[in-house]
Amino acid sequence: MTAPLPLVFDAPRRGMPPRHLADLDADGRRAAMEALGLPKFRADQIARQYYGRLQADPEQMTDLPEAMRAKVAEALFPPLLTAVRHIACDDGSTRKTLWKANDGTLLESVLMRYPDRATLCISSQAGCGMACPFCATGQAGLTRNLSTAEIVDQVRSAAAALRDGEVAGGPGRLSNIVFMGMGEPLANYRRVVSAVRRITSPSPDGFGISQRNVVVSTVGLAPAIRKLADEDLSVTLAVSLHTPDDELRDTLVPVNNRWPVAEVLDAARYYADKSGRRVSIEYALIRDINDQPWRADMLGKKLHKTLGSRVHVNVIPLNPTPGSKWDAAPKPVEREFVRRVNEAGVPCTVRDTRGQEIAAACGQLAAEG
Ligand code: SF4
C-alpha cells in the first residue's frame, strides 16, 4: 500500500514579513499591547484606525499620544506592500495594482468598479504552485505564501483608494472581495481563513464586508474544501473545474491527479450543504481543448446530479498569454457551450472579462514584471 501524500495546506513559512497588526486577532492585539507596556484598550483603538478609518500609518492616528506612535509603528506596522504601478482600463473603472512586498516579491490585485458594486480581486500567494499549463502564474511557480496581513492590506488599500476618490467614478465603497488573483487560496489555508475573518468581521476586528460578498476560489483541494465548510462561513466557494472529465483535467489542472473530479464535486456538495450557498464552477473555455459540445453535456449532467440547483457555471473566455498556444474559444462555440449547460438545468453564464487589455487573468501582470 502506498503511504498517503502529505496534504498541501499551509506550505512552510518561508520569507514571511514581520508581524503586522492585521496578522492578529483580538486576543493577539491585546497581548501585543501588553508586550509593549500599553493599556489593553489601545488595541481596539488602533484596530479601529486600521479597519474603520483605513489608516496604516500610526503617525496619522491622532487619537494615539504622540510619544506612543513610533513604538506602535515599529511593533505592529512594518512596511508590507509598496505599489510599483497602477494600470487602468475600461475608462478607468478597472485598476490593476502591482505590489512589491518587503522582500521584493511581486503580487497584484485588481479593482473593478460597476454601477452597483466595487469588487477587489486579491492574491493569496505570490506565484502559484498548481502548474496549470494555460496560466502565466502557473508557469512561473510558487514564490511564497502571503501573510494574512499582506492579503488584508490589499483590501485596506483598495478601500482607501475608493473612499478617497482615486478611482474613476468619484468616492465609493468597496463591497465585494474575490480570492481570484495569484495563487491557490486553499494551499495557504490558515492565513486565508484568518484574512476572510478580518475582511468580514465588523470593526474593530475587520472591515465589515458581508461574507456573502466574498468569493474564495480553488482548483479543487477536496479536503481543504471540506475543512472550509466546517468553518461555518457563508462565503461563496468557486471551483475552477475547467473540464468535467479526469482524462483532460489531469493535464489542465494537474492537482486533479490527486483529487479527481468526482471527489472535488463531492466536496463542493458538502460545502453547499453546510453553508447553504450556491457553489460557482469556473470554466475557462479554451479553443479545441475543452469547448466541445459533448463536454458541455457531460458538465451539465455531472453538476446537476451532484449539486442540483445549488450551482452556477461561469464560463470565462480564456485570456491568451502572449506566445501561448492556448486561445479563447470562438464566440459561436461559446454560445453553444453555454446553451447546452443551461439545457441540462444548470444555470450558466459568460463571465464579464473586465481588464483583459491589462492582462487581468491570473498573475499575468506580475509575470510580465
Ligand atoms: S490557473 Fe489558478 S490555480 Fe492554476 S496555476 Fe494559475 S493561478 Fe494557479
Residues touching ligand 1 (Cβ under 6 Å) are 128, 130-132, 135, 137-138, 182, 184, 219, 362-363
Determine the distance separating the centroid of ligand 1 and the alpha carbon of 109, expressed in angstroms: 15
| Three cell numbers, residue 76 | 505592529
**Residue among 143, 110, 122 nearest 16 (CA):** 143
Between 157 and 12, whose confidence is greater? Answer: 157
Alpha helices in the chain (DSSP H): 26-36, 41-47, 66-76, 136-140, 148-163, 189-200, 222-229, 246-252, 261-275, 293-307, 331-343, 364-368
Determine which one of 89, 108, 263, 282 is catalytic.
Answer: 108
Contact 24, 75 (CB under 8 A): no
* 253 CA → ligand 1 middle, Å: 8
- Which residue ranges make up each domain of the chain? 21-77, 81-358
108 is catalytic: yes
How confident is the model over 2-21, as a mean pLDDT? Answer: 60
291, three cell numbers: 469547448
For cell 512561473, what's the residue? 140
- Kindly tell me the sign of the dihedral angle through the C-alpha atoms of 24, 30, 31, 35: positive
CA distances to 8, 83, 167 from 256, in Å: 13, 35, 39
Q: Give the atom of ligand 1 at the shortest distance from the alpha carbon of 134.
A: 1
21-77 and 81-358 have identical folds: no
Q: How far apart are CA 64 and CA 73, in angstroms?
A: 11
pLDDT band (50, 70, 90) for residue 15: confident
pLDDT digits (tens, 9 = 90+) for 294-310: 999 999 999 999 999 99
Average pLDDT, the chain: 90
Of 110, 124, 125, 128, best ligand 1 pocket probe by most atoms within 8 Å of the beta carbon: 128
pLDDT digits (tens, 9 = 90+) for 270-301: 999 999 999 999 999 999 999 999 999 999 99
Asked whether residue 217 is marked as a ligand-binding residue, the answer is yes
Examine the pLDDT at 311 and tell me if it is beyond 90.
Answer: yes
89 carries a ligand binding annotation = no
Q: Is the pLDDT of residue 359 over 70?
A: no
Q: CA-CA distance, 186 to 37, in Å (whole number)?
A: 37
Per-residue pLDDT tens over the stretch 197-252? 999 999 999 999 999 999 999 999 999 999 999 999 999 999 999 999 999 999 99
Q: How far does the centroid of ligand 1 lie from the alpha carbon of residue 55, in Å?
A: 32
pLDDT tier, 354 (very low <50, low <70, confident <90, very high otherwise): low
CATH class of 21-77: mainly alpha
- pLDDT tens sequence across 172-200: 999 999 999 889 999 999 999 999 999 99
State which ligand 1 atom lies nearest to the alpha carbon of 253: 4
| CATH top class, domain 81-358 | alpha beta
Contact 127, 141 (CB under 8 A): yes
Taking CA 130 as the corner, what is the angle to CA 148 and CA 154, rounded to the nearest 5 degrees? 25
